[in-house]
Amino acid sequence: MRELRAQMGITEQREIWQALGTSDRHEALRRVSETKAKVLRAFDDETAQLTAALNPPPRIPPTEFQLQQAAFAFKAKEQGELYRERLHYLPTGKQVREAADQRFILDSTPLSPSETAWDRFSQRLELESIIDSKQRLTERRHALRAELAAHLGDHEFVLVDWAIQQIADQHGYLIEQDDANYRVLGSLLMRAWIQELDSADSVFMNVDLPASTANLFQAGQLGGQPSANDGAALVTSDAAESERDILVLFEDYLSDQKKSLSSSGEADIRRTMQQFVEVSGISDVTAYRKAHATAYKKRIQQLPPNAVRDYPGKTVDQIIKSVPAGAPRLKPKTINARLSQLAVFGKWLEDTRDDVVAINFTTAALPVAGTSDKMKEFTDEEVSKIFLHPTFIGCAGERNQSEPGDYRVRDFRFWLPLTAAYSGCRLNELTQLQISDIFERDGVLTLNVTDSGDGQSLKNQQSKRLVPVHSVLLELGFKERLDAVKAAGKEHFFHDIPVDRGGRRSEAAGKRFRKYLTRIGVKRKGVGQRGGIHRFRHTVIEKLRSYGLFDHQIAPFVGHQASLAPMTSGYGSSSEMTLAQRKEAIELIRYDGLDLGLLK
């Protein structure tokens, strides 16, 4: 009590009791303990908060998906601001129409004896402030949009720097000014902001002329012919709508894709786009959201195969109603291909416009069930069984590879399966690799899959690509193997594979690996036992799909031939992707349970 009195500057005990809410001495003593405990708890809380502020947890670089999530949250917030602006600053449509009618009456009625010119002017000014409020806010939005678009075109993000910093602090992201994540997030935020400003006219109601005034115009009793400026405004409005028309833009898109698009591929993507627009019922490309892609996916799941051929001239709804019960429907793989087509188009829109975000044209892919005759990918357990066998981690000898020992196989039998498992390359693409096809670019060791060398061939032109070497291969000594082969003066990386009569190495390598799978019990007669080393290609594709990549995003890594659907969107086409983006994707390949330390 004495300590408390001294701290508070209180000299009388009664004052302390009263401060504790009681005049009873015993009750005051009891409450002192409670009060002291509360003060100590508050002090501890403040100490913890201060410690956390002074020693914040380490920030982590955000993923691309996290940046997109942050942009969508920002966009939703801006949409909410527009609605609040609509509620607080704009009159209702009824109030605007009433004001316009009253203004018309004022202009058509002479002054009353009790009314002065100033009174009439004040009334008219007040009515015009109601009528013109929408226009003033519209002009303000347009000015902001123009400023955002100009900064975005110059890759300047000062207008959203505050939002970037806020997002980084809120989520603990490592985003430093002018780094890659700062630029990506800045671009996403500005595009989202522009998109919401462009769609604001659907929030701020379209105010028509009141019926009485419109009738007078039609009767020629008010105003006159539209002025030249009115006509120009109409033309400008029509042009602006045309610039946002999704089907007009789609034709521009097809023109850009002519070189890589077959006639059947063009017909396929045209059908997809027509059905998408029909299901969505929207022409303005800036108005599309992920929900529209999801709705389209649900609708076409009810369509039969060859719907356009079997039901010519009918709409999607008409076709669905005409399909007999129990009739086959589109397969998930076909539906996913169409979703990929939309995603590619969305990416093109984002790259060519400031008011579209590519992810608004995407939705989750459907799971694709396997078939009995399809070549199966390896499971993680099978991969562990392949690479943790004594042949790979140490065996008794060349002639006894079933028993553990100190003898290590480190020729093509070791490196070829591992390279296939961590690249997704075709067998022939790997076995024909020349030393000159493996080089560093931008600090990344890279495989150049090509047919430019003597005796080299590829399945198709899309197979030409650069494939970054996975970090796992580097850890295991891939670079050292390359240096050793180069020092030995060999032309081919897998020079130790026996060559057949046709000068090819793939046949002998493939046959040897199939025998190895049979010997260790991974390959056996039964369902899903087709293929040998090529199964790693299927495995890599399924791995990337499991991480959320669409087929059109996977295509550049594996060299799939594609018309429009499998062309890349999020990562660009094979020739347009940066090596860093390909490296990021290839590093997704991991096999649970595989102890890499045993392979070193």
CATH code (residue 454): 1.10.443
Q: Same domain, yes or no, for 357 and 389?
A: no
Q: Would you say residue 76 lies in a domain?
A: yes
- The residues, any chain, with a CB within 8 Å of residue 260's CB and separated by 6 or more, are 563, 564, 567, 573
**How many CA atoms lie within 13 Å of 524's alpha carbon, on the beta-carbon side?**
4
Are 450 and 589 members of one domain?
Answer: yes
Name the token pair of 239. 């042009």
Q: Are residues 519 and 415 in the same domain?
A: yes
SS3 string, 271-294, reads HHHHHHHHHHCCCEHHHCCHHHHH
The Cα–Cα gap between 492 and 490 comes to 6
| 247 lies in the same domain as 315 | yes
Q: Which residues face 492 on adjacent strands?
A: 434
Tell me if 259 is assigned to some domain: yes
Phi, psi of 466, deg, nearest 5: -105, 130
- Give the DSSP H/E element, type plus range, for residue 343: helix 332-352
Q: Do residues 260 and 336 share a domain?
A: yes
Mean pLDDT in consecutive groups of 10 residues from the start of the chain, 600 residues: 55 57 70 76 80 75 82 77 62 74 82 82 81 74 84 83 89 86 87 77 42 37 37 44 82 80 76 89 86 91 88 87 90 89 88 84 77 71 93 92 92 95 93 94 93 84 89 95 95 90 82 91 65 89 77 76 40 54 87 89
In this structure, how many other beta carbons lie within 10 angstroms of the beta carbon of residue 320? 18
409 and 535 within one domain? yes
By the 8 A CB rule, do 32 and 7 touch? no
Domain shared by 100 and 47, yes or no: no
In a domain, 222, yes or no: no
Distances (CA, A) of 376 to 166, 185, 428, 520: 47, 39, 19, 17
Query: Within this chain, do residues 500 and 388 fall inside the same structural domain, yes or no?
Result: yes
Q: What is the largest CA-CA distance in the chain?
A: 121
Q: Is 383 helix (H, G, I), strand (E, B) or coil?
A: helix
Half-sphere exposure (CA, 13 Å, Cβ side) for 555? 28
Residue 277 CB coordination number (10 Å): 19
Q: Is residue 227 part of a domain?
A: no
CA distances for 321 relative to 304, 308, 311, angstroms: 11, 14, 11
Quick one: tokens of 155? 């890759």
CB atoms under 10 Å from CB of 189, counted, come to 25
Going by their DSSP bridges, the two strands 438-441 and 395-397 should be labelled as unpaired
Decide which of 158, 191, 207 is a domain's last residue.
Answer: 207
Q: Which residues contact 39 (CB under 8 A, 6 or more apart)?
A: none
Same structural domain, 472 and 346: no
**Residue 68 to residue 435: CA distance in whole angstroms:** 41
- Rounded Cα distance, 304 and 576, in Å: 36
Helices (H) then strands (E): counts for the chain: 27, 5
Give the pLDDT score at 172.
Answer: 87
Burial (0-12, 13-18, 19+ Cβ within 10 Å), 469: buried
Please tell me the total count of domains within the chain.
Answer: 4
Q: Which 3 state secondary structure label does DSSP give 441?
A: strand
Is position 493 within any domain? yes
Task: Tell me, yes or no, whether 304 lies in a domain.
Answer: yes
Q: Are residues 524 and 400 in the same domain?
A: yes
> What CA–CA distance (Å, rounded) separates 537 from 108?
81
Nearest CA to 435 among 410, 458, 453, 459? 453
* CB contact at 8 A, 300 and 264: no
> Considering Cα of 256, then 258, then 262, then 267, what sign does the dihedral take?
positive
Q: What SS3 state is found at 14?
A: helix
- CA terminus-to-terminus distance, the chain: 72
H or E element at residue 230: helix 228-243
Distance, CA of 586 to CA of 540 (rounded, Å): 9
Same domain, 474 and 595: yes
Evaluate whether residue 13 is within a structural domain.
yes
233 within some domain: no
Closest C-alpha among 364, 365, 360, 342 to residue 76: 360
Smallest CA-to-CA distance from 383 within 425, 419, 421 is with: 421
106 to 9, 39, 99, 400: CA distances (angstroms): 73, 69, 10, 107
Question: Does the CA dihedral 491-494-497-501 come out positive or negative?
Answer: negative
Q: What's the pLDDT at 561?
A: 54
Under 8 Å between Cβ of 582 and 544: no
On the 0-12 / 13-18 / 19+ scale of CB atoms within 10 A, 456 is: middle
Beta carbons within 10 angstroms of residue 191's beta carbon: 22
Query: Does residue 202 sit in the same domain as residue 299?
Result: no
User: Cα 522–527–532 angle (5° rounding)?
Assistant: 45
Chain mean position to CA 380: 28
Last residue of a domain, one of 361, 388, 420: 361
Q: Is 444 helix (H, G, I), strand (E, B) or coil?
A: strand
Place of tokens 């030393």: 435
**Residue ranges making up the domain that contains 288:** 240-361
Residue 468's DSSP bridge partners are 446
